[in-house]
Structures are given as C-alpha cells and as structure tokens.
A and B are shown apart, each in its own frame.
Chain A
Amino acid sequence: MKLITATAHAAQSEHPQAIALANDADPRALPLKGVARIDLHFPKFTDGRAFSQAFLLRRRLRFTGEIRAVGDVLIDQLVQMKRSGFDSAVLRTDQNPDFAQRQFDRYPAFYQGDAEQPQPHFAAGAGA
C-alpha cells in the first residue's frame, strides 16, 4: 500500500482523472470511464462508510484505478483499508509511517474474504 504525504497529495489535487467521493455517496452511481483515481474520505477514522465504498468499487465494479484514503487516516486502519480495496493512503500529518510496515507484516492471513483475496480462509486453505 502506497503511503502518500499530505504535501504530495496536495500537489496531485489537480489530477484531471481523479475524483473525490463523499462517504455517503453510492459509488455505483458513478461514471467510472476515464477515472484513474478515486479519493474516499474518512471524516473521522471511526466512520467506516468508505470501507464499504472501496469494497464496492474494487470488487463489485471491478474498478482498476487507484483508490486513495484521505482524511482522518491512521496507521492502525491501513491493513483493513488495503483489504477493503484501497491501494494508497494519505496519513494524517501526526502519524509515523515508520510504525506502519509492521502492521502489514503481522497477520499471515484472515478468516473472511475481502477485496484483495475474495475467498475466505476456509475455502482457500480447506480450514487448516
């Protein structure tokens, strides 16, 4: 998962093929043709609506462009963001990216399927 600094994100804000989606919008109503990046917003990190939006974009709509997490983005939610279909994130400025990598290294696998690995553990690993 690509971690982007706030400065770099701001510099890319004029990207012609990027759109920002409010977290109460239905991504299925979105014309995706020609869209290279979709920014999904976390007004607070405890507001989980963008996880469902990312999942719908990645899995349901097979969106292949970049899905970027913006807003109140903390390192402790990066793994679940990645699993929901995000591939980049703009960390809140106080976050230490040095602590991020070990979050990704922790769990070798999860129980349920997700946007990255659609099959649940029981189907993939025959329950072992």
Chain B
Amino acid sequence: MYQYTAFDRQFVAQRAAQYRDQLERNLAGTLSDDDFRPLRLQNGWYVQRYAPMLRVAVPYGELSSRQLRALARIARDYDQPSAVVYETAQSTQGKLGTTHLPTGYGHFTTRQNVQFNWIPLTRSADVMDLLASVDMHGIQTSGNCIRNITSDERAGIAVDEIVDPRPFCEILRQWSTLHPEFAFLPRKFKIAVSGAREDRAATAWHDVGLYVLRTANGEIGFKVVAGGGMGRTPIIASALREFLPWNQVLNYLEAVVRVYNRWGRRDNAYKARIKILIKAEGQRFVSEVEAEYKDIIGIDGAPHTITQHELDRVAASFVPPALQEPAPLTAIDGALPADPKEALDYSRWLQQNVAPHKNPALRAVTLSFKRLGQAPGDANASQLETAAELADRFSAGEARVTHDQNLLLPWVHAAQLPALWRAARQAGLARANIRLLTDMIACPGGDFCALANARSIPIAAAISERYQDMDELHDLGEIDLHISGCINSCGHHHSGHIGILGVDKDGREWYQVSLGGADGSTLSGAAQAGKVVGPSFGAAEVPDVIEALLDTYRRERQSGETFIATFRRVGMDKFKQAANSVRQTAEAEPA
C-alpha cells in the first residue's frame, strides 16, 4: 500500500482543518447553504433524503486494517441519527413498505469507496479529523471535479498483469488532488486504470480509462480512452491514444481536462459529461487535445513529466509485503473439512471466492458482503472490525474494496485457506457466491438517496431470498446482476448481464429490465450497454421476471455455457417473451 509521507499527512490534516473552518462559518450563518454545498461535496458530504451522507475516498480500493478499524469506529460512534431524524425516515419509508433502516454501518461502493448514511452534519468535521488520523479523507469524492481513481481489485497480484497500475494510480491521485484549475468542471470526472489482460475495472465505462501496456521492446505506456459513462446516455469510451509514454500521462490528462473544462456544456447537467462533448465534437475534440498537449510540452515545458525518481519513490510503497511463514496451524484450522456438506461448501468457496496470485504460494480471497438480511455491500461496525482482524491475521494487514462491493484479501497463504474459510464463515462472510447471481451490485436506492426514483434494496433482497439454494446458484453459474434506483446508474444497471433500473411513475415504483450489458471483463465481453426488454415491471413482479429469464437460460443453454453467452447466441426475443409472460400489470394502465 502507499505509505503517506509527512507532506501527505500534513496535507490531509490541513484539508480537515479547512473543512472545519467552512462548516463553522456555515453553522454560524456567514457561509450560506448554497455557497457551502459545493465545498462540502468536494469533501464527500451530500445531504440525502433524511440525513447527510459521507463518501470516504479509498484510493483504488486499498485499505489497511488500521483504516478499517477507523471506519468501524465511524460506523459505531458517528453513523447514528438523532431520534427525530430516524423516526421521520422510518415512518416515511415504512409507508413504502421498508420495514427496517439499518444504522451504524458502512457501505462499499462500485467506485471502491465507503459511504455512511446517518452522520449528523454538526459532527462531520470531527469525522474528517478522525479520518485524517489514519491517512484518509473525502477529498473529491463528490462534486464536479476529478474523482477517486479506481483500479483492478487484483492490481499488483493478478496472474495476468502486464504492469502494476497502483503507482500510476497514486501519482494520478496526487496530481488531481486540489488541482486549482479543475475543481469546478462542467460535471464529475472519473478515471480508471487497468494494468492486466482482463479488464476488471470497467475501464471503458469511465470519463478517462487508462490501460497500462508494455511494448515488445519493453516500453511502458498507456492506451488512453475517453468519453465513457453511464447515466441517461450510456456510452463506451473511445480511443484517444493507442500508446502514450508512461511519463507523459499527467501532461496529457492536463490537456484532456483543460479542453473539457473550456468546451464542456454547462447549460444542462445531463449533457455536461465529457462523453457528450466527445460525441458532439468527435475529431475536433481529439485535435484540440493534441494541440493543447503539444503546447504543454513545447511552450509550458512539460512540467508534469513524471520522473523515474518519482515513479521509483511511489512504486517502493507497492512492493509485496515480506512473506512470513504462516503461524503454525492448529490441527482443526489447517485441516480440510471432513463433513461432506462442509467439504462441498469449502470446495465451492475455493472455486468462487479464491483467485490465483502472482506469487504461487499466495491467493486472493474475496469476503462476500452479499448475504441475506443486509443490503449488498453493507458492513456494520463489528463486521468492519472482523474484516480488519482477518486482514491482520491472513493478509499482511491489507484489504481492498472491490468494484462489486465486497472486500478482497490480497496476500493470503494457500496453506491458510482452511483457517481463513472457517474464520470468515463464522463472521458470515464466506458465502461462496462471488460472481454468481446473488453477488449482485445495488445502489442504496430510494431508502437513502435523494436522487433515487425507486428503492433498490428490497428488490435485491427479494431476488436474494429466492436464490438461496447453493446448488441452484452454482448451477446458474456466473452472472452479473446490477440494480440502480435511478438513471444516475450508481448500481451500474447498464453493464449488467441483467440490469434493473428503478423508475418513478405517478409516484409509484417501477423497474425497467435490460439484458446483455457488459463491463468489459472476460466473462462479459467488450463493454456495452444492455437493451431494455420492454415496459417497466411492478416491484412484486421483478423476482418472477428474473426467474423467467433464468429459466429461459437453463432451457436454452448448451453445455458449459454462461447466461451471457446463451443470451448472445439465442438473442433477445426468447428472453423478452419469458419476461413478458409473467407480467400481471401494465404500466400504462392505472392500477
């Protein structure tokens, strides 16, 4: 993991102090709510449906056990609404059918960050101080600026890695942090970096995607793509540069973001992302970026050319942790499960939750935060603490937030897998469902988010309940189910093999189902947006629709074929018919 220098530490502490100054002026009435809003957003503070939401930055997903414990403390001590706030929320959501709103927990997001939903704004500056004490912050996790840089959850450990992207992610993080020129862009700006053969970072869905490459003669650089994004207008990023030398990436991105800052639309928030600009201007945009880049090099003197010294300095933080021989295992810890049922669970866990590692003695293990009774990606204080303990005991004190809203332990000794499985199982984090149907992505939805048109969590829960049988789940195989509560697409419904989008019609919740989306992984194929199967479904119909789609898959599949492969081969029609066959209500007609 990146190790903070004294400079980094002081910088984050000053940022917390600056936020406190702004909060105090706001509470004293000398900084109006309107003027405060963009400032608090750039520190991760939204005001949501019932309470503020804090989004904590987790740069490219990496967390230390110490940081996990601080997040646990925030969950326990700060993620607690006042009685009035909570009662209002409960009674309002109760009318929609929500029976319980959890408090005291964190939520892992698709952009590898962690969110809290109930922290009173008056305590927000204290939370920023607490975060700063463990080298964390909420800088640029919201607002129209360059957001947290995301990457491959297996960066630095993947067997198919070309170049470890993390040193570049960190250099990009530092460059984008409090960039004076780019704090008020037309809209948010998301960058992802992938350094492996398989794209596990949904890179082409980002405003800028960087693929680290190595040429035949060993030169390192980036393929640069730009203009991807979800939302109302899903677009896959297109190539700007096939090969950009690694040390030019900051100079080049400065050109991209400057042209976007000057030219991007500001009259309509739905048309303000760089994807719309690139679509509208095409080659003219590319030419302007190249001209600007040329001037940055030729006239400005290429000041942000990354030196070998700086790359080496940052890369030194990312050397693998010293391999310690695992502590002697007790017979019970080290032994494989003898009970046949347990042995089956364990073998399924090995198959789904354990991935190979660059170091043949190690494995990457995913702790599943997809289980009944809690929303996808939710972790309460004690679960966060347990995760910290597991990271300390089995993974050199490191964990990673995955794009799929789980936690990955990157440095696990193969010999310790049985012990880790037992410990994770005891904590309820060993469900062998990674990449299966119930490992679904879902946003917090209408129970929390002020933007949502419909609730996501009850839909996720209803589908999870129906598919609890592990035999069935494994028979259905790997499938991406993504649920968003509104068109902002935080739940990435566009990239799901099955996507569910909440829509609001006449004050009621409806759900649009789409099929065939892809995030760009090997399983999914080249990134693309799914296609809508037809008019929206009522909430109660959604689990039946999913079942009809999955039954169609089981009927049509050929040996060993995944859902997405069957869908691509068979085509939309059969799936569409199946979905429509369970429709009981027509959205156009009044109930």
Interface residues of A (CB under 8 A from B): 24, 26, 45-49, 51-53, 55, 59-60, 74, 76-77, 79-81, 83-84, 96, 99, 102-103, 106-114, 118-123, 125-128
Contacts and interface: CB of A to CB of B under 8 A. Distances in A.
B14 interface: yes
Interface in B307-337: 307, 309-310, 313-314
B572 interface: no
B277 to A, nearest CB: 13
B184 A48 contact: yes
26 contacts: A45-B184, A46-B38, A47-B184, A48-B144, A48-B181, A48-B182, A48-B185, A51-B183, A51-B184, A55-B181, A60-B300, A74-B35, A80-B181, A80-B183, A106-B17, A107-B11, A111-B11, A112-B176, A112-B250, A113-B303, A118-B301, A120-B250, A122-B307, A122-B310, A127-B5, A127-B309
Interface in B136-181: 144, 171, 174-181
Q: How large is the interface on B (under 10, 10 to 19, 20 to 34, 35 or more residues)?
A: 35 or more
B303 A123 contact: yes
Chain B facing A: main interface SS: helix
Contacts of B10: 108
Given A113-B303, A121-B7, A127-B5, A48 B174 contact: no
Contact of A76 (B17, B22, B266): B22
Given A51-B261, A96-B30, A128 B7 contact: yes
Interface string B247-266: 00010000000100110001
A46 B180 contact: no
A74 B26 CA distance: 14
A122 B494 CA distance: 39
A96 B518 CA distance: 52
A99 B29 CA distance: 14
B9 interface: no
The 7 closest A-B pairs by CB, nearest first: A48-B184, A80-B180, A83-B180, A122-B310, A111-B174, A51-B181, A127-B313
B183 to A, nearest CB: 6
Given A46-B38, A99-B25, A52 B258 contact: yes
A110 B11 CA distance: 8
A48 B183 contact: yes
B588 interface: no
A66 to B, nearest CB: 18
B424 interface: no
